[in-house]
Structure 1
Amino acid sequence: MRTQVAIIGAGPSGLLLGQLLYKAGIDAVIVERQSPDYVLGRIRAGVLEQVSIDLLDKAGVGQRMHAEGLPHGGIELLFKGARHRIDLEGLTGGKHVMVYGQTEVTRDLMEARSAAGLTTIYQAGDVTLHDFDGAQPKVRYTKDGQTHEIACDFIAGCDGYHGVSRASVPESALRTYEKVYPFGWLGVLADVPPVSHELIYANTGRGFALCSMRSAKRSRYYVQVPMEEKVENWSDAAFWAELRNRLDPEAAERLVTGPSLEKSIAPLRSFVAEPMRFGRLFLAGDAAHIVPPTGAKGLNLAASDVGYLSTAFAEYYGEKSPVGIDTYSDRCLRRVWKAERFSWWFTSLMHRFPETGEFGQKIQEAELDYLVQSKAASTALAENYVGLPLV
């Protein structure tokens, strides 16, 4: 098989890249080791930045998002028992975020790709990348007992942190940076109405909490727990009781509880691999970087990587210019590190750190008080939360 771009991974970043390339008239084949049902079954993020909204519109898959998604013009910060609203739209000139689950984004992209008759190879085994340091890279995989090869001009590694793409790069060519936080998020998904129409980020003496949602009838809630905590130690009743203890009186009174559809603990860490280009192999999304979920940047960073990469390929094929692919890594990493900084700052501000004690809690509360009282500080938060522009 021959194609212009071989995309490894059929998650949202790989599918979005494939759709953007299709719109640009560039041929791409997607190779995915899992089944379509497995990919759709992943429970992931649900807050889209303005840049991601715009890219989905550019890819021609934004119709259902606009019809069913929940635009949010603000967020609420809860500390010292009271909530304070950050007016995202008012502070950023009308920009907002969209609550629309990653599963739904993936479904929309899958259906668009299928409708266009584009090639996606699911359940591909033993995927290996070859010769990406030269002019004729190849991807090999096995399926139905046979070995197959895809010859291509470029390989886009969109297969996540544990995928084959970054693992194919020689260790000597890669530099990694990592920070592991001493806690995780215990999360519950339930078919109950959200406690508030906007997200609530809570800083309390008992630890962080987040009230989020996937729709007007499905909610996603989180509480901070120690890193060594186990899901089986938490009944639904215990989770709801702890969440209620971390909310203000009005939110606690409004909280509707119900059986959990999914319950899990997500560790928090930051990770960046540099560079993001190796010859004709380009890393995108979780293959190159991980952020704590506090600032809702994971899926959005993957989308911005794909935005840069699709433009670079369009310039290469349409204008015969290598500038976009030559500057891809540097442009991505500038935005990645700004998102890493914001996620680290917001995580440090909102969570209880065991080693800082009551002094640390008082410092956080003082900074939060300054944040909500200062228009400059609120604007900096809003600009980062809705997403920095692609430059």
Structure 2
Amino acid sequence: MPRSAQLKAVAEPLEAASRGQLPAERATGRVRIVRRVAIHVAAATAALLALPMATLQWKSASLHDFSIENAVQRVAEVDQVRQLRVPANPSVSPVEAGAALQALLPVRSTDNFPAKATVPIAWPSAKLTPTMFSELRTPLWWGPNASTLITRVATHVSAEELAFLETMANLPVWALLDRAALAAHADVLGGRFELPLAANANLVGMPVPRFGDVRTLAHASVVRAAYYVARKDYVRAEAVLRNAASVALLLVDDAPFIIDALMGRAMLGIVTEGLGQLYTITGNTAGATTLRGFREQIKRRSARGGAGDGQVLASSLQGTRQQLLASIANPALPRSVRFEHLQMLQWSTCGSPLEALTGSSPDVDAAFDEAQRTLVRTEAERQYLDRMRHMTNGAEWHAQAGTPLGLVAASAQVVSAVTGRPQLATCTRMLAGMR
């Protein structure tokens, strides 16, 4: 429906009521009462509509006065180490890989997003004793620090330490990781959640893995490799670390949120630390060269406190939208980034009072249509995209009651009920909750 027709469909009932245009030619006493009530309802609705529309205009700057470009830069940096991926095995399906990822890095279950049950990883109950790797303790996890572990065990390791490394290297969890590493793609969403996805759930509340679990898996992978280094089995040690890197890249490429991709990048950071040590020990200059750029960027970001190179923000909502549309259409970007930008694109419709009242514009609809054809691979992703596309039509988003903005959100709820436009209430609640 053209934009003018959409707006007309909303406005005509109110205008007709305000002019007193009722079907009856002659207004009986009862009809006059009905007409008077209709006029008052129309006036009240118009007054209530003014509040959320003004709020949307005021708060819309919040939707373009931010950037996740720093995060996108970090994710894009993993392209430098994609050659670490092990060759894919067609026998490992995306469904199997998704289930393995949920077992390795489980998400919690919520009312809106019931997660698939998994068996917790059975890490060793006996951790480090005071005499084991005493110089390699770290607050990041309960095992030895991966940053110099492989270099250390290449020169000396005690019998007690070697026994610990052997226990870690033979845990059942590695069968899952090694199998998932062989997948070309993973159905991450389908592996995490029971389907169908809830119709009106706020996708912002969709659970993601705990970063502590990602970090533990990465450090433990380096410990596993250290065992083979201590046994001088350098080929096996490299294979172990490349499997871990391959699983991290599945998170980057096939998970639904950019936070998933950032966790995959963090995992790659720890794993490539171990690989760098291994390549130095074995004199593998080609391997060390492969890692150098990625490792140097990690060090530079660490020195800057994680800050990126920055980006000039769009000066308008339309400018932000054009940036998002270009990103979504870019097949060179990881799918996690493109999914994240689709969600941001849908929320950007709340920055336009007209779109909040009448629905998304043609460029937004076209982007979702194209994503349905070229980005979505699984049934879970299809449902995810569908929920994303309609999440402004009633997604749960609560503004604080009793505050001025809470009252605005309440008035928007009334107008949405009268006009049949739920996105107005959702957008107002969302923007009212932003600081």
Q: Pick the TM interval, shorter chain.
A: under 0.3
Higher Rg: 2
TM-score by length of 2: 0.21
From the two aligned structures, give the one with the greater strand fraction: 1
